[in-house]
């Protein structure tokens, strides 16, 4: 049980690792690069959500990073759902979820790199 917990924490700290694991296993099993890439993005989004919220908490000395990011994701889902309703007259829940989840992957990936860079600079400057 402890090994599983430590593995999850390690994958959460470095979210590139689960992306690569899922991608290379998927390429070996499926041979379809597009679907494998999308699956790797979907799996990694969960780890990015946890990592970015932890980095947010460290950077801003807060305790609500996860809830703040979740709020942003829900607001974006509402906006995209509203746009779908205006354009098509109905909301396709599956497409809405996929769109929000993949946009979250992109924005959380950018935030992860940015926050990690800032936290590392803070750590190095405090060590000197």
Q: Tokens 């990694």 label which residue? A: 44
Share the mean pLDDT of the chain. 89
**What are the tens digits of pLDDT across the range 51-87?**
999 889 989 999 999 999 999 999 999 999 999 999 9
pTM assigned to the model: 0.87
**What are the tens digits of pLDDT across the range 33-44?**
899 999 999 999
Is 60 in contact with 74 (CB distance < 8 Å)? no
pLDDT of residue 1: 60
Is 102 in contact with 126 (CB distance < 8 Å)? no
Instruction: Identify the three-state secondary structure at position 96.
Output: helix
State percent of the chain over pLDDT 70: 91
Which residue, 66, 56, 70, is CA-closest to 112? 56
């Amino acid at each position: 049980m402890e090994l599983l917990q430590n593995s999850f924490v390690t994958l959460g700290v470095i979210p590139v690792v689960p992306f690569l694991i899922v991608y290379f296993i998927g390429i070996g099993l499926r041979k379809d690069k597009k679907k494998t890439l999308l699956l790797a993005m979907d799996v990694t989004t969960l780890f990015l959500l946890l990592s970015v919220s932890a980095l947010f908490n460290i950077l801003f000395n807060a305790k609500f990073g996860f809830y703040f990011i979740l709020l942003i994701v829900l607001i974006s889902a509402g906006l995209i759902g509203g746009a779908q309703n205006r354009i098509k007259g109905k909301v396709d829940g599956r497409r809405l979820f996929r769109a929000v989840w993949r946009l979250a992957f992109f924005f959380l990936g950018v935030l992860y790199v940015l926050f990690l860079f800032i936290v590392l600079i803070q750590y190095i400057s405090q060590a000197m």
